[in-house]
Structure 1
Amino acid sequence: MEIKLLNYTKDPDGICFQTAKICYQSKSNDKEGLLNKIIKAGHLSILEHASFTFLIKDISRVASHQLVRHRIASFTQQSHRYTKATGFFTPEKIQQDAQAKEIFNELTKKALSVYEELLNLGLPKEDARYILPCSIVSDIIVTMNARELLHFFTLRTCQKAQKEIQDIAIEMLKICKKEAPIIFKNAGPPCTRGRCYERKPCEDINQIRHFFAEL
């Protein structure tokens, strides 16, 4: 997996601060104070004026299906109708289990072999791809505004999220914190800002809070 920031609104904190000043006719020059106050109050429309575009490489179809459920965003994914499928994502727990890894690799290797056979028979890629498992990887470009990113990070950096998309979200958050440290100062799972809303909260919430505070 590789994540790259392709483009973003110049000075995201600054544009959102200016938007907040217009909205509230504020004469404040305290950028961090005003933004923190408004974000805490939940008046998040000001954050929609800053956007970020990411390239995510080698994401599985499992994770991309979860990603595109965030509908207030724009997505362009590598098309397996027109490009040849190559490579698979192996989940961490499968990688750590020698027997499971062997079974997994055997199946994905067979699937790719059958895919190649279908292509050699003259079938179009859009039909041959039906044989491929959801672990097949592709590249995707994602554009989200800062408001949607905060929502995305709330859901997908949580330890209850699936590991692959959790890793993707954390890497995206690292990038966002670098470019917009005020907006994303407290971004992360709900437990970093208060109580956990899961039925069975994680046992190491203090460690989780420390991790995101130092991210």
Structure 2
Amino acid sequence: MKVTLLNFTPNPEKTIVLAAKLCYSDSNISQLEDKAKGVSYEKFLGKIIKMGHLSVLEHASFTFGIEGISRATSHQLVRHRLASYSQQSQRYVKFKEPEFVIPSSIKKDAKNEKRFSDTIESLYSFYKEMLDAGIPAEDARYILPNAATTKIIATMNARELLHFFGLRTCERAQWEIRDMAKRMLSLVKKEAPFIFSAAGPGCVSTGKCTEGEMTCGRPDEIRKEFKKI
């Protein structure tokens, strides 16, 4: 898996501070820019997030390049509809070699791993046979598995990212999308540290687990982990 931050709103925290201040000020925007120079972004952004004034976070967006995730995970990702996605097409792209993700639980047993790999490679072999026989790629792709890797470009605003991180970095999230979400969080924290300072699952963002009986029961351990991200 490879996750890169391709682009983002320049000065995302400044943009959000200006948007928030404008809501409560009779000053013009140039005056607000001057006033914002002395503002502690850490305190101000922490305050508006705590207040729930999250609409202003939508003014900053982040675009990611994501490669080597399975189709099983990309299907989970695109369920987050307040985002924009462009994904490598199995209809128009003909795949020459089998590329797929093997879950670690399967890798633990050499026999299972071999059988898994052999099965996937057999599917790809038949896929290539169908292409060679003149079957359209849009039909041959029906044989490709959830394990098949894909590439996708995703854009989300800061508000949606906070929501996304709350769900997908939780221990109850599926392992592959959780790994991807943590990589995304690490990248945006470098560019907007105060917006995402408390981003993560409920035990990190609010101090309370929202999973009820499904809790992992390890909030202190999780908090320590996210301090390092």
**1:35 touches 1:183 (CA, 8 Å); kept in 2?**
yes
SS of the aligned residue for 2:186 comes to: helix
User: 1:165 offset after TM fit, Å?
Assistant: 0.2
In the alignment, the residues of structure 1 paired with residue 148 and residue 214 of structure 2 have an alpha-carbon distance, to the nearest angstrom, of 32
Which residue is 2:125 aligned to?
113
Listed as ranges, the matches of 1:165-176 within 5 Å are: 165-176=177-188
Which residue is 1:66 aligned to?
76
Unaligned runs of 5+ in 2: 26-31
User: 1:171 offset after TM fit, Å?
Assistant: 0.1
- Report percent identity of matched pairs: 52
In the alignment, the residues of structure 1 paired with residue 40 and residue 77 of structure 2 have an alpha-carbon distance, to the nearest angstrom, of 35
Which residue is 1:8 aligned to?
8
Amino acid at match of 1:140: I
SS of the aligned residue for 1:24 comes to: coil
Match of 1:140 among 137, 152, 174: 152
Alpha-carbon displacement from aligned partner over 1:106-165 (angstroms, at most 9, x marks no partner): 110110011011011011111100011111111000000000000000000001000000
User: 1:21 offset after TM fit, Å?
Assistant: 1.1
The answer to whether the aligner puts 1:179 opposite 2:191 as a matched pair is yes
Higher mean C-alpha displacement, 94-103 vs 48-57: 94-103
In the alignment, the residues of structure 1 paired with residue 40 and residue 124 of structure 2 have an alpha-carbon distance, to the nearest angstrom, of 57
The answer to whether the aligner puts 1:102 opposite 2:114 as a matched pair is yes
**1:20 touches 1:35 (CA, 8 Å); kept in 2?**
no
Which residue is 2:29 aligned to?
none
In the alignment, the residues of structure 2 paired with residue 24 and residue 58 of structure 1 have an alpha-carbon distance, to the nearest angstrom, of 45
The answer to whether the aligner puts 1:209 opposite 2:223 as a matched pair is yes
Which residue is 1:19 aligned to?
19
Moved segments of 4+, more than 6 Å: none
SS of the aligned residue for 2:23 comes to: helix
Amino acid at match of 2:217: E
User: 1:23 offset after TM fit, Å?
Assistant: 1.5
Q: TM-score, normalised by structure 2?
A: 0.91
Which residue is 1:189 aligned to?
201
Alpha-carbon displacement from aligned partner over 1:45-89 (angstroms, at most 9, x marks no partner): 010000000010011110000000000000000001111234111
Alpha-carbon displacement from aligned partner over 1:166-213 (angstroms, at most 9, x marks no partner): 000000000010000000000000011222111221132101001112
User: 1:97 offset after TM fit, Å?
Assistant: 2.3
The answer to whether the aligner puts 1:38 opposite 2:52 as a matched pair is no
Unaligned runs of 5+ in 1: none
SS of the aligned residue for 2:119 comes to: helix
Amino acid at match of 2:165: F
**1:2 touches 1:58 (CA, 8 Å); kept in 2?**
yes
Amino acid at match of 2:160: E
CA RMSD for the aligned pairs? Answer: 1.3
Which residue is 2:214 aligned to?
200
User: 1:30 offset after TM fit, Å?
Assistant: 2.4
Figure out how many residues of one structure are paired with residues of the other and give that number.
215
Amino acid at match of 1:110: S
**1:155 touches 1:189 (CA, 8 Å); kept in 2?**
yes
